[in-house]
A and B are shown apart, each in its own frame.
Chain A
Amino acid sequence: EAQVTQNPRYLITVTGKKLTVTCSQNMNHEYMSWYRQDPGLGLRQIYYSMNVEVTDKGDVPEGYKVSRKEKRNFPLILESPSPNQTSLYFCASSTPTRNRGQTRKLFFGSGTQLSVL
């Protein structure tokens, strides 16, 4: 079954304690992305990756890191979490986007609810 898997689903942590949220996809997608969802703000892109070892900042990258060492995995790292990073996080992946106008569909994971105390 084609899917994007995020772990954990729920996470409570304290300020300053490094954490990693994992994301894995089994569709051989080149493009992967992280979003955070906050009430009234919709989804905002944190980082995205066009391929292995190729990452770029989205709209709200501050306080986050990512890595793309393998095609299937795209972990989100919070080196020193703060309460304003309490949010619902989504990972997504999609088919290759080399060709402009090519139909593309984002597949989303089920989300990770993070609370930073």
Chain B
Amino acid sequence: AQSVTQPDIHITVSEGASLELRCNYSYGATPYLFWYVQSPGQGLQLLLKYFSGDTLVQGIKGFEAEFKRSQSSFNLRKPSVHWSDAAEYFCAVGGRNNAGNMLTFGGGTRLMVKP
């Protein structure tokens, strides 16, 4: 069965500082990997996804993530955080045997940004 772990429940960074949100997954083969962001009172918006090819993927809002097969990780990074990035972030894994239809989400990481 596929599973996702986001070890950090809360993270606080200063505006302008760099950010890394951790995501570890469990899946028997190469999975589909996603990062979603949820702003307060909103649904989820896709930041980026990895299906195949280059293991460093670029997303919207200046985010990027790197797939590391040896570490079963898909960490999300941003070089310089803006106050508007404060939100909850979810990592998700989709199985290739069902074309990624069944997504399993991590527990989420709430990001707070200090001025």
Contact = CB atoms under 8 A, between A and B. Distances in A.
Contact of A108 (B41, B43, B108): B43
B106 A99 contact: no
B101 A31 contact: yes
B42 A103 contact: no
B33 interface: no
Interface residues of B, number: 26
Given A90-B43, A101-B52, A108-B45, A42 B100 contact: no
A103 B51 contact: yes
A101 B51 contact: yes
A26 to B, nearest CB: 15
Interface string A38-66: 00111111001010000000110000000
Contacts of A103: 49, 51
Given A99-B99, A103-B51, A104-B100, A42 B46 contact: no
A64 B88 CA distance: 26
Nearest to B51: A101
A31 B96 CA distance: 16
Contacts of A45: 102-104
A102 interface: yes
A2 to B, nearest CB: 13
Interface in A82-117: 90, 92, 97-106, 108-111
B97 to A, nearest CB: 9
B44 interface: yes
A107 B31 CA distance: 20
B90 interface: yes
Contact of A102 (B45, B99, B102): B99
A76 interface: no
Contacts of A31: 101
A58 B104 CA distance: 10
A45 B44 CA distance: 14
A98 B36 CA distance: 23
A110 B9 contact: no
